[in-house]
Structure 1
Amino acid sequence: MNNDGRIYSSFSRLSLLAKRGRDLSWRPPYSKISPMSGVQKSHQRGRGLDFVELRHYFPGDDVRCIDWRVTQRTGQAFIRLYAEEKDKNTVLIIDLRSSMFFASDGSMKSVIASELAAIIAGRIQLEGDRIGALLMTDKGIAVHQPQRGEKSLLTLLENVVFHGQSLGQTQDNFVRKPLVSDGPETCFSSQATLDDVLKQLCLQKTKESQIFMISDFIDFTVEKSNAFIAQLAKRNNVIALRVSDPFEDQLPEIALVMGNGNVQLDVRQNAAELRQRYNQFAAQQNQQLETSLAAMGIPCLHLSTHLDCWQQLAAMSIKGQG
């Protein structure tokens, strides 16, 4: 197994990033909730932290909410109402398919996606919310059931490392060796697509959750993917994090040889027409994704393989606070 952290994520690296994620103060100026805000307010009123109003006591009200100072001063019973808090599930959609095993420089897209998941999970775990995950792989969907606690977080990171390191490996020379005890993960044998994962969440009637989609969105379609995301966005807060390599958006004007181990593509330096067709196609695909998500009010954050994952998130944090 290659120990280069730019090619494969390690358990120690993801564990470190999960701990650093706890210190990340991220408040981007989204119209919806901040993706790092943890517990969320409901529209109900009751006992909580944020004061809503002071009103007269009525029979049936919670006597624990009585403001005894105001009651003693006025001679009438008053209660203080606060915004009730309730925790929410966080669902991470993590793309670890072959299309993510690519980079022209820096780290593989799969590594950036894994590090993103670790940072987000570390922050959410600090807030005490449940963290679940759907990992898209070439062999199906791996499901990490939503749970709280440090053990569940470590198991999730182990699963991310395992599936990330499976990229580029054959079944014969790769054997799973758990770093921590196996946790709540189930696998499905069908080929994983973005639509498969989105459809599964819709069928589960996922609601009142924070959903992070971490992918290159290479198989996003307006016809199906857009409909699934729209359905989820009605009852959940959705954030998209697109991981890409600059070469995917625009081919450079140099001779290129690209391959995946089975197929090799030779792009000559003077292939201007090919580059133009490819660049137009990539721009159209990206525009469709941007337009579709913007129409639903879903933020789409872009991360590059050429830059450090933590530094990119930290820069977004500073920008969001400014």
Structure 2
Amino acid sequence: MSEVSAREADGLVYASLAQLLRLEQPAQHLGFSSRQPLGSILAGQHNSRLRGRGLNFEELRRYQPGDDLRHIDWRVSLRQGKPFVRSFSEERDRPALILVDQRMDMFFGSKRSLKSCTAAELAALAAWMVFHSGDRVGGLVFNDQQIERIAPLRSRQRIEQLCAVIIRQNHALAADNPDIDSRGQLDKVLHECLALANHDHLICIISDFAGTTPQTLKLLRQLAAHNDVIALQVYDPIALSIPQNGHLLITQGELQVELAVGRKQVHKPLSAFSSGRLREVAELLRRSRIPLLMISTGEETLPQLRFELGKYSGPSR
């Protein structure tokens, strides 16, 4: 029996390939578009707004009734004595790379699901969104030691391949895994991404952003200089609200630990660490001018992503 099939996948502790492939249908109603409702993080004249597709110049031709007057080339028109317009076509191809974190730090959850499972769901949703927008999809799936690369291609088979790699790494997570120093692994992934995406890519980073270094900001800025980059930070609700009293059950896969959070020596450092990490990541991404979407493990993934993107499934008005 394979390592993947040997583990019971409930979608909360371990994800399943069937679960990720089923997300195609709901993902069709979402999109990483620069045209978003006003309440969206991607809307407005924000420095981090996604560029969207560009326009390619096709030809200069005589004006025809119904042509957009903004496309009239006045210099040529005055020289020829007749109106001429510039014709453009929309760039149809914007490859996407989805960076998916499956490090041991993601194998954690205090409510509903583990961060590693939420990240897997987000990656599948992002892949299907890109596929249905007509673009190629690839990715980098990484754990504490390994980075697996999937070259962008527009096909369902490629998304299935990406999801299968995510599931393989997801099912390799276990509470008894050896403790590995993975500092700098996130930077290695960003280096790999820079080598693959020199310009005009959509880069979707799905992680808790643990292990950032002074180099991380530089790498993010380099990526964002010529690509559209969006960050989805997966966080556990414990980071926002540590109970004042009682006991807190912490889950890491099959391992569970109960903490007496009412004790000052437990509550104070735990609260400072959890909230401090969220603030650090938010500040890092703000400085790199990358849009940040925050997704909690304590709630269902799809409604959160729909809300964060400002996309609603009802009919447009």
Residue 13 of structure 1 corresponds to which residue in structure 2?
19
Residue 54 of structure 1 corresponds to which residue in structure 2?
72
Identical amino acids, percent of aligned pairs: 27
Which segment is superposed worse, 24-33 or 144-153?
24-33
TM-score of the two chains, using structure 2 as the length reference: 0.77
For 1:119, the aligned partner's letter is L
Q: 1:160 to 1:205 in 2, by over 3 A?
A: closer
Q: Is the 8 A contact 1:6 1:106 kept in 2?
A: yes
For 2:303, the aligned partner's letter is Q
Residue 231 of structure 2 corresponds to which residue in structure 1?
240
Instruction: Kindly provide the CA deviation profile for residues 235-291 of structure 1, in whole angstroms up to 9, marking residues without a partner as x.
Output: 111111000111244432332354658998653244213321232233332222212
Counterpart of 2:152 in 1: which secondary structure? strand
Gap runs ≥5 in structure 1: 59-73, 172-189
Gap runs ≥5 in structure 2: 1-6, 60-66
Aligned mate of 1:118, from 114, 124, 138: 124
Cα drift, residue 12 of structure 1: 1.5
For 2:270, the aligned partner's letter is Y
Residue 170 of structure 2 corresponds to which residue in structure 1?
164
Counterpart of 2:210 in 1: which secondary structure? coil
Residue 275 of structure 2 corresponds to which residue in structure 1?
283
Q: Is the 8 A contact 1:129 1:148 kept in 2?
A: yes
Residue 179 of structure 1 corresponds to which residue in structure 2?
none
Instruction: Kindly provide the CA deviation profile for residues 29-88 of structure 1, in whole angstroms up to 9, marking residues without a partner as x.
Output: 1635549x6xx114x4336xx955023796xxxxxxxxxxxxxxx984734422542411
Q: What is the root-mean-square deviation of aligned Cα atoms in Å?
A: 3.3
Residue 104 of structure 1 corresponds to which residue in structure 2?
110
Residue 54 of structure 2 corresponds to which residue in structure 1?
41
Q: Is the 8 A contact 2:110 2:249 kept in 1?
A: no
Q: 1:108 to 1:281 in 2, by over 3 A?
A: closer
Which segment is superposed worse, 311-320 or 149-158?
311-320
2:147, 2:97 → 1: CA distance?
A: 14
Q: Is the 8 A contact 2:107 2:253 kept in 1?
A: no
* Equivalent pairs, count: 283
Aligned mate of 1:132, from 128, 138, 153: 138
Q: Does 1:267 align with 2:259?
A: yes
Q: Is the 8 A contact 1:46 1:83 kept in 2?
A: yes
Aligned mate of 1:303, from 295, 299, 302: 295
Q: Is the 8 A contact 1:137 1:192 kept in 2?
A: no
